[in-house]
């Protein structure tokens, strides 16, 4: 059983340029975790590309099981990303499911 972890955020900035910068910063930091956090089987992330009314940035990551996801959550490199994300977002939604 593989766990797919999907999270989307709304960036707090109202200025379009700053909002785009923060969304790209979140995506880039998350993508940089590949190869650093061994529990990540696959990861993709990026800012919203089509519709302004959608959430601003999202990540999709796969983990071998729930325990692997939990180790990812507390990994120091992930915690650094979490600190940045929390400093620039106003909302978060997530779902984890088996694939």
61: left (phi over 0), alpha (psi -120 to 50) or beta: beta
Alpha helices in the chain (DSSP H): 16-31, 66-74, 76-88
pLDDT at position 17? 96
pLDDT at position 86? 98
Mean pLDDT computed over 53-81: 98
* Band (33; pLDDT cuts 50, 70, 90): very high
What are residue 49's phi and psi, to 5 degrees? -110, -15
Mean pLDDT computed over 75-80: 98
pTM recorded for the entire structure: 0.96
Mean pLDDT computed over 20-46: 98
Percent of the chain with pLDDT over 70: 100
Whether pLDDT at 1 is above 90: no
Q: Does residue 1 contact residue 97 with C-beta atoms inside 8 Å?
A: no
Token representation of residue 1: 């059983």
The set of residues, in sequence order, having a beta carbon less than 8 Å from that of 35 and lying 6+ positions away, is: none
């Amino acid at each position: 059983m593989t766990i797919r972890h999907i999270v989307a955020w709304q960036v707090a900035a109202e200025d379009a340029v700053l909002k785009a910068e923060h969304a790209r910063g979140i995506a880039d930091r998350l993508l940089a975790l590949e190869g650093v956090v061994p529990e990540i089987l696959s990861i993709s992330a990026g800012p919203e590309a089509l519709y302004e009314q959608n959430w601003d940035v999202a990540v999709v990551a796969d983990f071998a099981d729930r325990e692997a996801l939990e180790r990812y959550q507390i990994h120091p490199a992930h915690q650094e990303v979490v600190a940045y994300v929390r400093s620039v977002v106003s909302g978060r939604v997530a779902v984890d499911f088996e694939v």
